Structure 1
Amino acid sequence: MPSDTARHVELRGKTYYLRMRVPNEFADVEPLREINRSLKTRDLVVAEARCANVRLALFNEWRARRAGRAADTRATFDASVDLLKAWGMTFSPMDELITGPVNDLLSRIEAIANVDPLSPAVPAALGAIELPDMTLHEMAQRMPILKANDIRAKNARQRREWCGNFKRAARDFIAQIGERTILTISEQDATDYEAHWKKLAEPGGVTTNYANKQIRYVRQMIDAHYDDIRMPKSRRNNVFKGLGVGKLIYADDERKKLPLPETWVRNRLINDRILEGLEQESSDIAIIAATGGCRASEIYDVPESDIHLDHPIPHIRFRVVLDGPDRRELKSKASTRVLVLQGPALAAMRRNPTGFPGHRGKAKFSGPVNKFLRENGLFPPLPEGEDGRYVISGTRHSFEDRMKAAGIKNEERAFLMGHSIGRVRGRPVYGSELDLPLRALLQEMVAYDGDGWSPRPIADLWEEVDRLLEEKGHRLR
Structure 2
Amino acid sequence: MNIKRRSKTFHLIKRVPKRYRPIEPREVVWISLHTDSESVAQQKAPTAWQNMVEAWEARLAGDSDDAERRFEAARELAQVRGFRYLTADRVAKLPREEFLERVRAAVRPDGEPDGIEAAAVLGGAKEPPITVERALELFWTLAKDRTLGKSEDQLRRWKNPRIKAIRNFVEVVGNKNIADITVEDMLDFRYWWVDRLASEGLAPNSANKDLIHVADTLKTVNKMKRLGLMLPVGTQSLKDGKKNKRERPPFSTEWIKNKLLAPGVLDGLNTEARCIVLGMVNTGYRPSEAAGLLPEHIRLDHDIPHISIEPVGRQLKTDQSERVIPLTGISLEAFRQCPNGFPRYQKTSASLSATVNKFMRENELLETPDHVLYSLRHSFEDRMLAAGVDERIRRDIFGHRLDRERYGAGATLEHKRDILQAIAF
Would the TM-score normalized by the shorter structure come out above 0.5? yes
Normalising by structure 2, we get a TM-score of: 0.85
Normalising by structure 1, we get a TM-score of: 0.77
Go from structure 1 to structure 2 and tell me whether the alpha carbon gap of 1:438 and 1:30 turns closer, same or farther (over 3 Å shift): same
Go from structure 1 to structure 2 and tell me whether the alpha carbon gap of 1:113 and 1:22 turns closer, same or farther (over 3 Å shift): closer
Q: Which runs of 5+ in 1 are unaligned?
A: 1-5, 322-326, 383-387, 449-477
**Equivalent position amino acid for 1:274 in 2:** V
Is 1:93 the equivalent of 2:93? no
Counterpart in the other structure of 1:361? 347
Counterpart secondary structure, 2:393: helix
Go from structure 1 to structure 2 and tell me whether the alpha carbon gap of 1:54 and 1:328 turns closer, same or farther (over 3 Å shift): closer
Q: 1:379 aligns with which of 358, 361, 366?
A: 366
Q: 2:398 aligns with which of 406, 417, 424?
A: 417
Question: What is the correspondence of 1:290-329 to structure 2 with a 5 Å cutoff?
Answer: 290-321=281-312, 327-329=313-315
Q: 1:16 aligns with which of 10, 16, 26?
A: 10
CA contact (8 A) 1:61 1:119 kept: no
Counterpart in the other structure of 1:346? 332
Go from structure 1 to structure 2 and tell me whether the alpha carbon gap of 1:46 and 1:225 turns closer, same or farther (over 3 Å shift): farther
C-alpha displacement at 1:67, in angstroms?
A: 1.5
C-alpha displacement at 1:372, in angstroms?
A: 2.1
Counterpart in the other structure of 2:411? 434
Determine the C-alpha separation between the residues in 1 that align with 2:69 and 2:85: 15
Is 1:288 the equivalent of 2:279? yes
**Equivalent position amino acid for 2:113 in 1:** P
Determine the C-alpha separation between the residues in 2 that align with 1:107 and 1:96: 15
Deviations 1:315-368 (A, max 9, x none): 1000011xxxxx222111111011211000000001111111222222431112
Is 1:404 the equivalent of 2:385? yes
Determine the C-alpha separation between the residues in 1 that align with 2:194 and 2:411: 42
Is 1:162 the equivalent of 2:158? yes
Go from structure 1 to structure 2 and tell me whether the alpha carbon gap of 1:157 and 1:38 turns closer, same or farther (over 3 Å shift): closer
C-alpha displacement at 1:166, in angstroms?
A: 2.0
Counterpart in the other structure of 2:102? 108
Counterpart secondary structure, 1:120: helix
Is 1:32 the equivalent of 2:18? no
Deviates more, 1:13-22 or 1:392-401: 13-22
Determine the C-alpha separation between the residues in 2 that align with 1:200 and 1:106: 59
Deviations 1:46-70 (A, max 9, x none): 6557755653443233223322333
**Equivalent position amino acid for 1:118 in 2:** D
Counterpart in the other structure of 2:122? 126
Counterpart secondary structure, 1:274: coil
Go from structure 1 to structure 2 and tell me whether the alpha carbon gap of 1:100 and 1:33 turns closer, same or farther (over 3 Å shift): closer
C-alpha displacement at 1:404, in angstroms?
A: 2.7
C-alpha displacement at 1:169, in angstroms?
A: 2.0
Percent identity for Structure 1 against Structure 2:
29
Determine the C-alpha separation between the residues in 1 that align with 2:400 and 2:416: 15
Is 1:117 the equivalent of 2:113? yes
C-alpha displacement at 1:213, in angstroms?
A: 3.6
CA contact (8 A) 1:258 1:394 kept: yes
Go from structure 1 to structure 2 and tell me whether the alpha carbon gap of 1:273 and 1:265 turns closer, same or farther (over 3 Å shift): farther
Equivalences, count: 421
Determine the C-alpha separation between the residues in 2 that align with 1:135 and 1:440: 57
Is 1:214 the equivalent of 2:210? yes
Go from structure 1 to structure 2 and tell me whether the alpha carbon gap of 1:274 and 1:400 turns closer, same or farther (over 3 Å shift): same
Q: CA RMSD in A?
A: 3.3
CA contact (8 A) 1:207 1:255 kept: no
Counterpart secondary structure, 2:258: helix
C-alpha displacement at 1:437, in angstroms?
A: 2.2
Q: 2:424 aligns with which of 431, 442, 447?
A: 447
Determine the C-alpha separation between the residues in 2 that align with 1:75 and 1:98: 24
Go from structure 1 to structure 2 and tell me whether the alpha carbon gap of 1:447 and 1:196 turns closer, same or farther (over 3 Å shift): farther
Deviates more, 1:67-76 or 1:154-163: 67-76
C-alpha displacement at 1:193, in angstroms?
A: 4.8
Counterpart in the other structure of 1:267? 258
